[in-house]
């Protein structure tokens, strides 16, 4: 919209009395705020952000505009930006209660629970009759006490080094006869076959649960497999074979089935790489992860799994996977998943020319493939360094580096990508980590590709999913986009922490 038409539109929507009492810039700001609110209600968060930004440009001293944009950033998972806007809203108006809500939510998403607790305490003190704020305060206190307890017991080295497997008698489970009434998929002699995995997918499709005997056996075997897997896995794709790279799945099991329907079941002639964020958000994460682990065990040399930022303890506690595992199995099993996720490789190198990681590139120059190989991945992700960047960073359109919109990792420009590729003799990188309207996006002169495979993310975003096909003799990516399919009436985040991040005010 040009300035003339824009001003006419604003003027036509405002009364003459309003014009007499407010500057035109202030009126324009109110118009854009209202426009942003409507976009927000329509779940068009990127459009809402644009409108709130225009409101701020016309009136940079109104705290609520920053508060509203912070909320839209939260919905877009741009927690770093959300935190910055919340801080600004409070700076402009220290009594702006929604600003404290927004800041608490951003800090929660970043795992900064003590800072979130401080803001909820302020809200409750300011609004003692606000039941929602009181509930959030109590939930946040529980989280902080739980963390403090875990740190206290970790002082004992024997507890610190104790594996979750020490609580499970896998041999007893192997000979257990407790599944007498179980009619689901089974395997003999601890040998997992493609027939078993196909039966398992059908079993899950009917919303049935895999018996714990077989679930623990899969976890035991995948744990043993991943212990032997390097941090950077090298994949050789033969010239006559198709290979597929998928992005985030986020517990959307029925969309995972649709990928296999469109692109074929994995096999020796149909290799796959799933590039992290298998779990959380969607409420069928258990079904997704056991299916992927089963396929990895059947086809260890042509089916690959990378770690995403949601294969981590903080994310799983906040976004549903912990609650889902505890609901369908037990707390002990969730602890085992945490150990297994620590062993997932961080990236994959295809035919020595294409590097695939979940997040992106690095906060410093001159990183080599050998540097990546040397990363100690068997831990929770740190807040900085190579491991953090591989799991959290995002590309930007402008050259250079900037602070992350997420509050973790960095944003890197086309010049950073070019330097990294040249130093390591690579053609391009593939990463995931971000919702894209068509399921993919090509950036940095074709050298940085994003693929995201969870269509209509969280049942709200309206995006397509996508995957990438390549062949060994032609590494040119071919993109296949697809729509979401129906799933049982279980909402995303059904197992998430009762502490809703976004029901703020």
Hey, which residues does 443 pair with through a beta bridge? 448
Burial class for 182, CB neighbours closer than 10 Å (0-12, 13-18, 19+): middle
Q: Report the side by side order of strands in the sheet with 465-471.
A: 303-305, 270-274, 242-246, 465-471, 474-482
| Comparison of pLDDT for 221 and 153, the residue scoring more | 221
- The yes-or-no answer on residue 310 being catalytic is yes
C-alpha–C-alpha distance, residues 359 and 411, integer Å = 10
CATH placement of domain 184-482 = 3.60.21.10
Indicate which residue of 211, 223, 250, 310 is catalytic. 310
- Predicted confidence at residue 188, as pLDDT, reads 86
What are the residue boundaries of the structural domains of the chain, listed by start? 3-152, 184-482
The whole-number pLDDT of residue 429 equals 98
Compute the average pLDDT of residues 291-297: 98
- Cβ neighbors of 289 (< 8 A, separation 6 or more) are 278, 279, 337
pTM of the model: 0.88
Q: Among 39-43, 106-110, 429-433, 437-441, which is the least confidently predicted range?
A: 106-110
CA distance 126 to 97: 8
Provide CATH code, domain 3-152: 1.25.40.10
Distance CA 18, CA 102 (A): 30
Signed CA dihedral, 385, 387, 393, 398: sign only: positive
pLDDT of residue 232: 98
Q: Please state the three-class secondary structure of 296-318 as a single string.
A: HHHCCCCEEECCCCCCCHHHHHH
Integer Rg of the chain from CA: 24
| pLDDT reported for residue 503 | 34
Helix (H), strand (E), coil (C) string for 402-423: EECCCCCCEEECHHHHHHHHHH
SS3 assignment, position 368: coil
Q: pLDDT tier at 477 (50, 70, 90 boundaries)? A: very high
Type and span of the H or E element at 199: helix 194-205
Please report the pLDDT score of residue 234 as a whole number.
98
Assigned token pair, 69? 């944009």
Q: In this predicted structure, what is the pLDDT of residue 192? A: 96
Phi, psi of 254 (to 5 degrees): -70, -25
What is the per-residue pLDDT for 178? 74
Contact between residue 165 and residue 223 where contact means Cβ atoms under 8 Å apart: yes
* Beta-sheet pairing, 347-350 with 354-357: antiparallel
Angle at 43 between CA 1 and CA 254, to 5 degrees: 130
3-class secondary-structure state, position 440: strand
Separation of alpha carbons 325 and 216, rounded Å: 12
Residue 421 vs residue 18, higher pLDDT: 421
DSSP strands (E only) in 241-368: 242-246, 270-274, 303-305, 347-350, 354-357
Integer Cα distance of 496 and 349 in angstroms: 34
Give yes or no for residue 500 having a pLDDT over 50.
no
pLDDT over 60 at 261, yes or no: yes
The pLDDT, as a whole number, for residue 174 is 82
Q: Which residues contact 68 (CB under 8 A, 6 or more apart)?
A: 33, 36, 37, 40, 48, 52
What confidence tier does 330 reach under pLDDT thresholds 50, 70, 90? very high
Q: What is the predicted pLDDT for the residue at 499?
A: 55
Give tens-digit pLDDT for 189-200. Answer: 889 999 999 999
Q: What is the average pLDDT score of the chain?
A: 91
């Amino acid at each position: 919209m040009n300035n003339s038409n824009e001003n006419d539109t604003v003027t036509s929507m405002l009364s003459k009395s309003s014009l007499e009492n407010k500057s035109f810039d202030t009126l324009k700001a109110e118009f854009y705020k209202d426009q942003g609110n409507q976009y927000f209600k329509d779940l068009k968060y990127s459009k809402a952000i644009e409108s709130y930004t225009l409101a701020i440009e016309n009136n940079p001293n109104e705290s609520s505009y920053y508060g509203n944009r912070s909320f839209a950033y939260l919905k877009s998972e741009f927690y770093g930006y959300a935190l910055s806007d919340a801080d600004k809203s409070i700076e402009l108006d220290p009594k702006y209660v929604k600003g404290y809500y927004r800041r608490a939510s951003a800090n929660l998403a970043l795992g900064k629970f003590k800072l979130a607790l401080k803001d909820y305490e302020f809200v409750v003190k300011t609004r003692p009759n606000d039941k929602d704020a009181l509930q959030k305060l109590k939930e946040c206190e529980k989280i902080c006490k739980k963390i403090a307890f875990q740190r206290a017991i970790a002082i004992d080295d024997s507890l610190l080094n104790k594996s979750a497997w020490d609580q499970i008698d896998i041999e007893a489970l192997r000979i257990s006869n407790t599944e007498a009434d179980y009619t689901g998929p089974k395997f003999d002699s601890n040998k997992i076959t493609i027939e078993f995995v196909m039966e398992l997918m059908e079993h899950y499709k009917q919303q049935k649960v895999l018996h714990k005997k077989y679930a623990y056996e899969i976890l035991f075997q995948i744990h043993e497999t991943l212990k032997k897997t390097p941090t950077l896995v090298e994949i050789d794709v033969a010239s006559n074979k198709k290979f597929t790279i998928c992005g985030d799945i986020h517990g959307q099991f029925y969309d995972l089935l649709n990928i296999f329907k469109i692109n074929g079941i994995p096999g020796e002639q149909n290799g796959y790489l799933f590039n992290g964020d298998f779990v959380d958000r969607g409420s069928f994460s258990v079904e997704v992860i056991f299916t992927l682990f089963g396929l990895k065990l059947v086809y260890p040399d042509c089916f690959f799994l990378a770690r995403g930022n949601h294969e981590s303890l903080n994310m799983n506690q906040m976004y549903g996977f912990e609650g889902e595992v505890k609901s369908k199995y037990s707390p002990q099993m969730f602890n085992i998943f945490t150990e297994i996720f620590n062993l997932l490789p961080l990236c994959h190198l295809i035919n020595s020319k294409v590097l695939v990681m979940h997040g992106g590139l690095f906060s410093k120059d001159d990183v080599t493939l050998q540097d990546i190989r040397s990363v100690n991945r068997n831990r929770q992700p740190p807040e900085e360094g190579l491991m953090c960047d591989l799991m959290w960073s995002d590309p930007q359109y402008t050259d250079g580096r900037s602070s992350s919109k997420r509050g973790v990792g960095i944003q890197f420009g086309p010049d950073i990508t070019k330097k990294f590729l040249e130093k390591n003799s690579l053609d391009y990188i593939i990463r995931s980590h971000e919702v894209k309207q068509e399921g993919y996006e090509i950036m940095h002169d074709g050298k940085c590709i994003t693929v995201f495979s969870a269509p209509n993310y969280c049942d709200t975003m309206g995006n397509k999913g996508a995957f990438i096909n390549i062949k060994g003799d032609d590494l040119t990516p071919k993109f296949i986009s697809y729509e979401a399919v129906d799933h049982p009436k279980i909402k995303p985040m059904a197992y998430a922490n009762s502490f809703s991040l976004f029901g703020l005010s």
